[in-house]
Structure 1
Amino acid sequence: MNERARRGTPVAITGIGLVTPAGIGTTANWERLLTGRSTARRDPGLAGLPVDISCRVPDFDAASLLGRSTAWRLDRVSQLALVAAKEALADAGLDPERWDGPRVGIVMGNALGGTASYEAAHTTYHQEGADQVSPLVMVNWPVNMISGYLAMHCRALGPNLVVATACASGVTAIGIARDMLRSGLCDIVLAGASEAPLSPTPMAAYHRMGALSRRTDDPESASRPFDADRGGFVAAEAAAVLVLEREGDARARGGTVHALVTGFGASADGHHASAPDPTGAGVERALRAALTDADVAPEAVDHVNAHGTSTRLNDLMESRLIDRVLVGGPSVTSTKGVTGHALGAAGAIEVAYTALTIEHGLVPPTANLDKLDPEIGVDVVAGAPREQSVTTATSHSFGFGGQNAVLVLQKAGTR
């Protein structure tokens, strides 16, 4: 296959695995998402902090899901990823015992690494001394170990990496994985992201930055993207893993295609360490690059899964971007109203949700949108799911450091 043909090769999402505050498993996630009810709760693990609310994965028992020995060895960030990967492989109908391991790659996104392992080791060091620090911290804290453990458990022996582009990490990982398939470097790639950030130190820092919602008296109403009374995000833990294959390969083996990944764009704001460029110039470059890569006209986009963090600056900037560039008036949703903001994992979760939106013809509502900010003029879905045949959608993710990433997803058979 020549380079031009490879670049035009459609890449399919053939497996989806989700472990989020909306539930363990894709079915549980989709059902909760359609209710439009937030998962935010008071968090005993954050007791004593000024902001003690979060969105945790409910009833996550790593020992029963992975086995006691495996669960004991892994930080929660890798536990979440492995459970999601197992579901994605089952959904795709792939057996790692039967595939050609060196032709299978893994690209995962992450922002903070194994925060629980690091915090525990740091506490032990100060309270009990250096000799009591567990050596396991150095195979649990580093971000690369997320992909490393997936490779060990899934016998994926091809390229193996973690990308760290802050809250754009999941989308960046899926974009890189798509390019690996188009280049011929791999035949299958497990791509997505995992994040388990709900430890006191990072949550205290986010609070000090003013990024977190302070609605601690009413946690379920705290995450409210695009709402006039929004005031910050609710932090979450989660993992999403997608199985990606060239569409022709997936069809040949009888695999199911949830959606196609047809465009990817990325950029840097070069503006501020934590605030988005209010002009949206950087994110516009990423969005237009993704559309060009997919060979899709802006007016053809009929749905957007927005970054929609529930912060005042992001939501306003993003809504103006959508209104300015995607002139066809797409429906817009932010699923962070339900799940909270899972930082580096957020984008991968939202790509999975976008694929499910395309597959089911239903747009999930944005939770807690009681009064649309009057400065926001886009068509934000709220209240109840909207029936809509979605052919072309974009999924946006932006992060600290001015990191921007956008994917274009399309319905199978569109191209």
Structure 2
Amino acid sequence: MRRVVITGAGTINPLGHSVDATLEAFREGRCGIGPLDIRDVDRLAIRIGGQVREYDADARFNRQQQALYDRFTQFTLIAAEEAIRQSGLTFSGELAAEAGVVLGTSGGGLNTQDENYRAVYEEGKNRVHPFIVPKLMNNAAASHVSMTHNLKGPSFTVATACASSNHAMGQAFWLVRSGAARAMITGGSESMLCFGGVKAWEGLRVMSRDACRPFSANRNGMVQGEGAGVFVFEEYEHAKKRGAEILAEIVGFSMSSDASDIVMPSQQGAARAIQGALRDARLSPDQVGYINAHGTGTAANDKTECAAVANVFGASADDVMISSTKSMHGHLIGGTGAVELLACIMALRDGVIAPTIGYEEPDPECALDVVPNEAREAKVDFTLSNAFAFGGLNAVLALGRAP
């Protein structure tokens, strides 16, 4: 069983177009949620979201590339470029054959789908672009990352709704730990802030019209976001031998299924995933200093997650810090766990805990240390990152300080 470390990180999300910008926003407790700037927003009941602002696709990709790259793929390629550049790896020869890509997404090319439904049903067109299918397919981002960076090893896409990124990163972790790969590019991406995407989520009646306030008694729902987070997972000895900077170590991973309800979360299912990650990492609850919560800002999620943490951590529950950065960047659905992993890295590397902003009223059913409104300096040795998806699919990663 090989040790697995993170040697590169990249992102583009509502808080920033890079890792440094995102971590600065975490430290400042900045909110990236605002009025939506999309077509037909006036027909929506929900008009806020965590959009990637000041993004110019023309400055990043030529017309031929944009014909192939949906917005979620564009975000992935930008984040992957930053992560691979930081890692210092060049994929050629044996390393190219032993490195691959596992990415998470829920909707894939939803912007492309939305545009083409309009063209066919609203505008009455009978022909669409010949590259629509390769542009909208869920594995498009993984495929383009593999082609761009010459990654010839195991490559695929995971789609498990809001847990997609964590499931993808867990698979990448297992591949490197088992020796099936020497390095993996992994994370997730999502861009469903289009008319059809928001309208579909409106139907669930779980969306806030004004803000995301996880764990606060006056919370009133989740807020959608968009963006990508991508990492380089590398076998420790390989990274050490080449003198790479190590950001953190992946020490454990676990998955569970609620097997109960398609939308309502289960305390028992979440607890099994948390317990499994601790067991895989050979950690006791009192060793974990910080948990990046799934923390959507819905009553069902927040109460269930807090109960699961309290159940697993027992007497240690009062000592662990738990925060939801969704309060700042919104819920990136299939990409959310990847962007949130940056908060775990920041806690381990920099000793700064990202806050839960928008916290206004204590909730007795969420009586944990939720790091309200302001970032906190604290030394932690181990962190957990939770992701609990519709369909009852749960994935929890455990990270440790860089060895």
TM-score class normalised by the smaller sequence? over 0.9
2:329 to 339, 349, 362: 339
1:282 to 262, 266, 269: 269
1:324 aligns with 2:311: yes
* Offset of residue 131 of structure 1: 3.5
Give per-residue Cα distances to partners, 1:233-265, cap 9 Å, x unaligned: 110001000000011111111111111101100
Instruction: Give the Cα separation in 2 of the matches to 1:187 and 1:202.
Output: 37
Task: Tell me if structure 2 keeps the 8 A contact 1:290–1:407.
Answer: yes
Q: Which moved more, 1:365-374 or 1:243-252?
A: 365-374
SS in 2 for 1:168: helix
Task: Tell me if structure 2 keeps the 8 A contact 1:170–1:344.
Answer: yes
* Offset of residue 358 of structure 1: 0.8
1:177 to 164, 169, 172: 172
SS in 1 for 2:343: helix
Match of 1:145 in 2: 140
1:223 aligns with 2:212: yes
Task: Tell me if structure 1 keeps the 8 A contact 2:189–2:335.
Answer: yes
SS in 2 for 1:289: helix
- In the alignment, residue 398 of structure 1 is paired with which amino acid? F
Give per-residue Cα distances to partners, 1:75-110, cap 9 Å, x unaligned: 001000000000001111123467732111100001
- In the alignment, residue 105 of structure 2 is paired with which amino acid? N
Instruction: Give the Cα separation in 2 of the matches to 1:391 and 1:127.
Output: 55
1:103 aligns with 2:98: yes
Instruction: Give the Cα separation in 2 of the matches to 1:102 and 1:47.
Output: 50
Where in structure 1 are there 5+ consecutive unaligned residues? 1-5, 216-221
- Please, what is the CA RMSD of the aligned residues? 1.4
Give per-residue Cα distances to partners, 1:121-176, cap 9 Å, x unaligned: 11111245454211221011110111011111111111110001110111111110
Match of 2:35 in 1: 42
Write out aligned runs for 1:250-261 (5 A). Answer: 250-261=239-250
1:403 to 360, 368, 393: 393
Q: Which moved more, 1:128-137 or 1:239-248?
A: 128-137
Task: Tell me if structure 1 keeps the 8 A contact 2:343–2:353.
Answer: no
The number of residue pairs the alignment matches comes to 398
Task: Tell me if structure 2 keeps the 8 A contact 1:268–1:404.
Answer: yes
Instruction: Give the Cα separation in 2 of the matches to 1:69 and 1:30.
Output: 33
Write out aligned runs for 1:106-145 (5 A). Answer: 106-129=101-124, 131-145=126-140
SS in 2 for 1:100: helix
- TM-score relative to the length of structure 2: 0.96
Q: Which moved more, 1:43-52 or 1:243-252?
A: 43-52
Where in structure 2 are there 5+ consecutive unaligned residues? none
Q: What percent identity do the matched residue pairs reach?
A: 33
Q: 1:390 to 1:383 in 2, by over 3 A?
A: same
Task: Tell me if structure 2 keeps the 8 A contact 1:322–1:378.
Answer: no
- In the alignment, residue 29 of structure 1 is paired with which amino acid? T
Q: Which moved more, 1:318-327 or 1:23-32?
A: 318-327
1:294 aligns with 2:287: no
1:235 aligns with 2:230: no
SS in 2 for 1:369: coil
Write out aligned runs for 1:304-383 (5 A). Answer: 304-327=291-314, 328=316, 329-383=319-373
Instruction: Give the Cα separation in 1 of the matches to 2:124 and 2:157.
Output: 32
